[in-house]
Structure formats: structure tokens, C-alpha cells
Structure 1
Amino acid sequence: MAVLTSRPAAAPSAAGPSSLPRPFWMLWLGTVINRTGAMVQPLLSVYLVQVRGFTLAQSGAVMTAFGVGSLLSQVLAGWLADRLGRRATLTGGMLATSAAMVALGAASGFLAVATTAFLLGLTIDSYRPASQAMVADLVPPALRPRAYGLLFWGVNVGYSVAMVAGGWFADHGARAMFAVNAAAALTFAAVVWATVPESRPAGHSPPGGRLRAVLQDRLLLAVCAVTAGYGALYAQAFTTLPLAMAEQGVSRAQFGLAMALNGVLIIVVQPLTARWVGRRDPGLVLSAGTAVVATGFALTAYVQDGRGLALTVAVWTAGEIVIAGALPTIVASLAPHELQGTYAGVCGMSWSGGAVLAPVIGTALLPLGPRALWSGIGLIGACSALGALLVAGRVRRRTAASDTT
């Protein structure tokens, strides 16, 4: 197999905030605006049942259609980012998201809602591989962990606002949240189109069979396997965890407060650790962070009240924080310039695939009791952490080799 290499730009001598280029900060600003209005996705199932009168089975089918679209979107958007350009893909994806959002809010009948939900899933995350490729184009390798970490931080700041606003809209006019979400996506598109130039390197046209070339990169596939395991681990927080905590004696109010701690810690702690984490080997950071997340979920077996849950949430949030910049940095270091989007899309799809499997795994283990459930989930995380450790050396050697070409 031929090894695909990239030639990263030299890092600037300064490492302060001003060393990140202005287009990156505009991309960051657009991301925050978009996520601040992103209230439909987390509240969609509740909206379908409580506002539209769908049955639980119908709501589950609609969410499945949304998930299938989301699973496909990453690879499609990554391919388009390399083919058409990062800027065109991101802005076009956000315009399509806005249209799909309005259509879903106006749709009536199960078939129409399921179809528009699929289209929304196909477009709503299309910005991710494009923005990840943009960062790889715009930011020198030494600063990428910090840049990706800042994007992660911005997403969580926006998400925290969206959850508060979404709760208000749910009580005072649920359909209006579709319009707000659509407006946020349009604003993101406008900010990027007006302030972020096309970043795809000139003279690098994607070769034929580019997806085939990506799928022949065994090191990337190994990273994708690690990513899928991490997705299956982390997504338990939003799938099995609420069900398990109800059985372990944690009230819904206690659960909500403990989960709010996740967002608070990310907003407060992540900026303080970004520079320190950015100086470490990203493969080792990914391994250590995944191990910490796995430990946090494994400890959930012993939770009996809200305080115990808050402690375990704090543990796995610490791992989540350090992983945030490491994983996209690894993918960017493995990808050649002309395939940054496709690499990001394939890795993003592997995370989504793991997240899709998360409720299947969790609900299968749930009847066996807390020890079996959380030991099993912790074991998945431990395997993922071990996989990250095993590939860390190969990632480091390949990155070093590409620096010399």
C-alpha cells in the first residue's frame, strides 16, 4: 500500500491567541452562532410526541431516519469539501440545513416528517468535515490541537445556550424553534462566505478513486476503529445512562444537575488546559483521555445518588476535554492536503457508527444489572484506549516522515 503523505506548514514562533489566523476565528464565531441556535436536534423526539402527537414507535422511526442521514452526511460532505472546496461545502450545507429545518417544521404526516428528518440528518452535520479540513489548511500543525480544542469549546458554549433557549421554546411555541435553528444555520453560512476564504491548497486536485485510497489507508482505519469504540462509549451518556440512573435511584432532577456539570466543566476547564494538552503527543493524549472516560463510566456502577453521579460525570468529562483536540489533530496529520475533507468525513462517520451502536449495546446489558452494564461499557472504552496506544507510535512516525517530504 502506498503511504499518503502531507506537507504541513511550518508553525509560527508565537503561540498566543494572535497566532491563530483571523479566518479561523471567524470560523469559530460562525460555529458558536450555529450551535447557539441548534435546539431542534436534542428536542426533536420530545417535540414529535408531545406536540405532534406521534407514538413512541413513530418517533423512534423518525429519529432512525435522521440518524441514517447523519451517518451518511459525514462522508458525503468530506468528499464535497475536497471536490468543490471547504467554503462552498460548508456554506451550501448550512443553506441546505436551513431549508430542511423549515421543511421539517412545516411537514405534516408521518411519511413527510420522516423524509424531511432524513434530509435534515443528511445536511445538519455537513459543516463538520469541511470545518475540520479548514482548520488543517489554515492552522500550522503545532497549533492544531489548540484550534480544534477551541472549536470544541465553542460548540459546547453554543449548546449550553441552545438547551436553555430550547426549553423555553418547547413551552412557549415549539414550532418557532425550527425558524430560530434555520436562522442560525443561515448566519453561519453568511459569516463563512463573507469572511473565510477558500482554504483548499491551490494546485492540489483530488485524485481519482480518492475514497478508495482513504479506505486503503490501514492506519486511518485503525484510528477509525478507535473512534468508533469511543463513540459507543461516550454516547452512553445520552442513551443508556438516563435509563440506568432511574433504576439506580437517581431522580430526574438530580440527573439533570449532574449532566449540567458536564457543560460547566468544559466551558471553564477546557481553555485552561488547551495549551498544555496541545504540547503532548496526540496519540498518547487520545489513549489517556479515552481511558479516563472509560473509568468514569465504569465507576457509574457504584452510583446511588446525585452526588455520586456528579463525581463520575466529572471524571469522564475530564477525559472528554483532553480528547477534543487530539482526535482531529491525528486525522489531519494523516491526511494529504487534497484529502483532508474525506479523511475527516470517514473518521466522523466511524464516530457516528459507534454512537448508533451505543443504545443497542447499552440496552442489551441493562437488564444484567449495574455491575455488568458499566463493566461492559468500561471494557469497550479500555479496548479503545489500548487501540489508541498501539497506533500512537505509528501516527508519530508517519507524521514525522511527512514533515521531511
Structure 2
Amino acid sequence: MRPFGDKTGQAIVLLLIAGSGMVAIARGMSLTFLAIRLQGDFGLSPAWIGVLIGTGPLLGAAISPFAGTISDRIGRRVVLVTALLFAGLGLVGLGLAQSVAAFALAHVVSSVSAAVYEPVSRALMSDAAPERLRLRMFSWRYLVINAGWAVGPMIGLAIGANSPLPFVIAGMVHFVFAAAIFAVVPAALAERAGQAAPQQAPGLRRLGAALRDRRLLFYVGGGTLLMAVYGQWSVTLSQYLTTNVDDGMKIFAWLVTTNAAVVVLATAPARLVIEKIGPLRAMVLGCLLFLGGELGFAVSTNAAMLIGFMVLFTIGEVLVVPAEYVLVDRISNDGNRGAYFGAHSLSSVGNFIGPLFGGLALGAFGGQGMFMLFAMLAAGSAVLFAIGHAAPPPATSDGAAIDATGEIAGEALHRSHRPAFA
């Protein structure tokens, strides 16, 4: 049962989509230039810059699963508002920091807060949107986020990449979004959650219950491999191009532009494909496109080939991102959706794994070896998602399987003449 009426739910969904786009612009105009600020203002080496920048997302991946379970108990609004306020404070701190220690603290606060925001905002969108529209909502959200990250760096350059102003403005954007969520999202859900808390399992137990769902475990594993392939593709690809290809930086800029343009143009057609063939087939197709793109990068001998295979790679990206969210949404219910999306956010560890192992492969085996590694990860991800989709739902204490709505699967099958978890 949806906790919001149609009008309120529509307002919440539109706010989350618009706000996510504004947050993406804000983070793009500021965080894109973290390395420049660390090198220019503090004189850190590339190795230390990598360690400092990677620490925040790694801690965020460890903490974000608990955000979903907490939001299931006390409500999405309070968690989202708190996360956005702290994210804004962290960004302002990044702009004003005068020491490495202060900068590191602000970066950790910003990264962890962003990691908390992501799964809870997705869970709130699922709460607010009718099931038939969730794929469309996730696709639109993904579109505006990518558009924001494409526009944000250009705004940051115009303001001044070496100044604290982009960070301060980005923080203010987060504060405004937090105020909007507080004003638009009703507190009724949080109150109901608080009243129901005595009958609900504690947060850690609910998270543990989510992680005992074999379907979710395979989705987390597949998502981790996927995130390693596409989550930080610009880091590994830029290293390869700038050290192995003539005019590598110029070609890399063209590839970034190609990626952003294809995301904008292909998101709507990709949603239609997912609706037609289903999220699992779309996920497998996207993984195969990733595989083809990586193999194409390995054999490319000129800029035109690289751009062509980037188009292939990006089409895979616009298929897998919304399809993955729909797969997770379909195995959760209103009572555990936050826990499921929170547990699924563990897959963001791939943002750390990809650059690490990609860099190691690049150093040991060259670009071809690195691209082959990512191709194998894409293939492995498709296998894990297929296994997870085929796995049965978790069983009750008497051995009966429970579907995503909380019904005994056999009873639902008897009434509807189809598997409840299809």
C-alpha cells in the first residue's frame, strides 16, 4: 500500500527528480575539481590525492546500508533532510578548508552524507510513485543526474575552479533542497514508522534479513562488478589515453562529451526497451554492451573507433542503471524497501574496486589487459543477476516462500495463477 495520495506522491517524485538534478549540478561544479584543489592548495602527490578522495566513498559504502533500515523506522524525510544538511556543510567545508586534515574531514562528511542520501531517496521515490510508473521515474532521475554532471563542471570552470565559491554555492543548493523536502514530504510516514517500531525488527536485524535474501545478495554482487566497470570509467580510461595515445587528453574530452550526449538521447528509448523486454533481459543486454564496448576499446586504433565504442558502452549504461533499480524494487515491499535499497548500496564499493584493479591491470598488462578485465567483470555481472533473478524468495520459519508483497507465495499463486515473484 502506498503511503501517499496521488497528488502528494506526484509532488514528491517531481521534487526528487528536480532536486537530484540540482544536486548533481552542484556536486559536478565542485567535486570535479577536488584533485586540482588538493594539488594546487596543499601540494599533495597523486598517490595521496587518490587515497584521500577514495576514502570518502569507501566509508560511505560501509555506512549507507544502515541508512535504509533507519529510514524504514523513523521515516524517509528526517533521514534525507539530515543527510542533505550534512552534505551541504561538508561541501562548504571543502571550499573553506585551510589544512589537509580539515579538507579530509569535510570530504568524508560530504561523501558519507551523499551515500546516505542515495538509497533513501530511491526508496522514497518507490514509496511515492505507483508501481507502473517507477521505471519511468527512475529513468528520468538517472537522466537529470547525468545531465547535471555534464553541466556542472562547465559552471564550475566559469565560476573559478581554483576558488572556494563553487563549493560554497554547492553547499547552499543542498540546504535549499533539504528545506524543500522538509516542506513537501509529509511527516505522517515517519510518525507511523515510529508508532510501528515496537512491532518491527531492529534496524540491524532488518538489514540482516535483507542480506539473507539470496536474490538481493546476487544483485549486490552483480551491481558491484557493474559499478567497477562503469562507475569510475573516466579514471581508468583517462590514464590509458593520456599515457598511450597521441592527443589522449583531447580524445578523452570527446569521449566524456559523447557519454553525456548519449545518456541524454538514449534514456527515453532505453526505458521503452526495458518496459518491452523486462528488467532482467535489459540488464543482461546492457552487460553484453559493456563487454562489447570494453573489447572495442582494446582494439581501437583511432579516435573514431573509441567514440563509436563509447556510444555502445553508454547505451549499456542507460539500460543497466534503471533496470537494476527496478529489479531491487520488485523483490522489496513497503516495510523493507529502505533496508533492501540500503543493502544494495553496498555495490558502490565497485567505485573503489574499479580504479584500483583497473590501475593495477593497466600497469601490469597495459590497456588491452585492463579492458579485458572489465569485459570479464561485465560478463560476470550478467551471470550474477540472472542467478539472483532465478533464485526463490526467502522462506518463513515453516519453509513457505514469501513474495515481495509479504504474501505466502503459494497463496498468491493460487489466487492469481502466476508466480507472485515474477
Find the counterpart in structure 1 of residue 177 from structure 2.
Answer: 188
Q: Is residue 200–residue 338 contact of structure 1 (8 Å, CA) maintained in 2? A: no
Kindly provide the CA deviation profile for residues 221-240 of structure 1, in whole angstroms up to 9, marking residues without a partner as x. 11100101101111351221
Q: Is residue 100–residue 120 contact of structure 1 (8 Å, CA) maintained in 2? A: yes
Find the counterpart in structure 1 of residue 301 from structure 2.
Answer: 304
1:269 aligns with 2:266: yes
The partner residue of 2:340 within 338, 343, 346 is 343
Q: Letter of the aligned partner of 2:11 in structure 1? A: R
1:67 aligns with 2:61: no
1:148 aligns with 2:142: no
1:257 aligns with 2:247: no
1:213 aligns with 2:213: no
Relative distance call for 1:68 and 1:282 in structure 2 (3 A) is same
* Bigger mean CA deviation after superposition, 274-283 or 174-183: 274-283
Q: Is residue 24–residue 152 contact of structure 2 (8 Å, CA) maintained in 1? A: yes
Relative distance call for 1:199 and 1:275 in structure 2 (3 A) is farther
1:178 aligns with 2:175: no
Distance 1:110 1:348 in 2: 28
TM-score, normalised to structure 2's length? 0.85
Find the counterpart in structure 2 of residue 390 from structure 1.
Answer: 387
Find the counterpart in structure 2 of residue 3 from structure 1.
Answer: none
Q: Is residue 123–residue 341 contact of structure 2 (8 Å, CA) maintained in 1? A: yes
The partner residue of 1:322 within 316, 319, 336 is 319
Q: Letter of the aligned partner of 1:256 in structure 2? A: A
Kindly provide the CA deviation profile for residues 28-68 of structure 1, in whole angstroms up to 9, marking residues without a partner as x. 11111211211222221121112343333432332133233
Distance 1:127 1:296 in 2: 31
Find the counterpart in structure 2 of residue 133 from structure 1.
Answer: 123
Q: Letter of the aligned partner of 2:283 in structure 1? A: L
Find the counterpart in structure 2 of residue 4 from structure 1.
Answer: none
Report the 3-state secondary structure (helix = DSSP H, G, I; strand = E; otherwise coil) of the residue aligned with 1:336.
coil
Greater RCO (CA < 8 Å, at least 6 residues apart)? 1
Find the counterpart in structure 2 of residue 239 from structure 1.
Answer: 235
* Bigger mean CA deviation after superposition, 356-365 or 266-275: 266-275
Q: Letter of the aligned partner of 1:21 in structure 2? A: Q
1:77 aligns with 2:67: yes
Q: CA deviation at 1:400?
A: 8.8
Q: Letter of the aligned partner of 1:183 in structure 2? A: M
1:58 aligns with 2:48: yes
Report the 3-state secondary structure (helix = DSSP H, G, I; strand = E; otherwise coil) of the residue aligned with 1:369.
helix
Distance 2:286 2:8 in 1: 26
Task: Map 1:285-300; keep pairs closer than 5 Å.
Answer: 285-300=282-297
1:365 aligns with 2:361: yes
Pairwise CA RMSD: 2.6
Distance 1:188 1:401 in 2: 34
Distance 1:24 1:395 in 2: 31
Q: Letter of the aligned partner of 1:126 in structure 2? A: V
Q: Is residue 216–residue 388 contact of structure 2 (8 Å, CA) maintained in 1? A: no
Distance 2:219 2:22 in 1: 30
Distance 1:345 1:195 in 2: 23
The partner residue of 1:161 within 151, 163, 174 is 151
Q: Is residue 259–residue 310 contact of structure 1 (8 Å, CA) maintained in 2? A: no
Relative distance call for 1:199 and 1:160 in structure 2 (3 A) is farther
Distance 1:280 1:258 in 2: 29
Q: Which aligned segments of 4 or more residues in structure 1 are displaced greater than 3 angstroms? A: 198-206, 393-405
Q: Letter of the aligned partner of 2:241 in structure 1? A: M
* Bigger mean CA deviation after superposition, 232-241 or 142-151: 232-241
Q: Percent identity?
A: 21
Q: Is residue 210–residue 339 contact of structure 2 (8 Å, CA) maintained in 1? A: yes
Report the 3-state secondary structure (helix = DSSP H, G, I; strand = E; otherwise coil) of the residue aligned with 2:336.
helix
Kindly provide the CA deviation profile for residues 348-369 of structure 1, in whole angstroms up to 9, marking residues without a partner as x. 122x111211122112211313
Distance 2:2 2:148 in 1: 31
Q: Letter of the aligned partner of 2:208 in structure 1? A: R
Relative distance call for 1:222 and 1:269 in structure 2 (3 A) is same
Find the counterpart in structure 2 of residue 36 from structure 1.
Answer: 25
Q: Is residue 100–residue 116 contact of structure 1 (8 Å, CA) maintained in 2? A: yes
Stretches of structure 1 lacking an aligned partner (at least 5 in a row):
1-6, 13-17
Q: Is residue 65–residue 118 contact of structure 1 (8 Å, CA) maintained in 2? A: yes
Kindly provide the CA deviation profile for residues 61-110 of structure 1, in whole angstroms up to 9, marking residues without a partner as x. 32133233322342232233222211111111101111122222222222
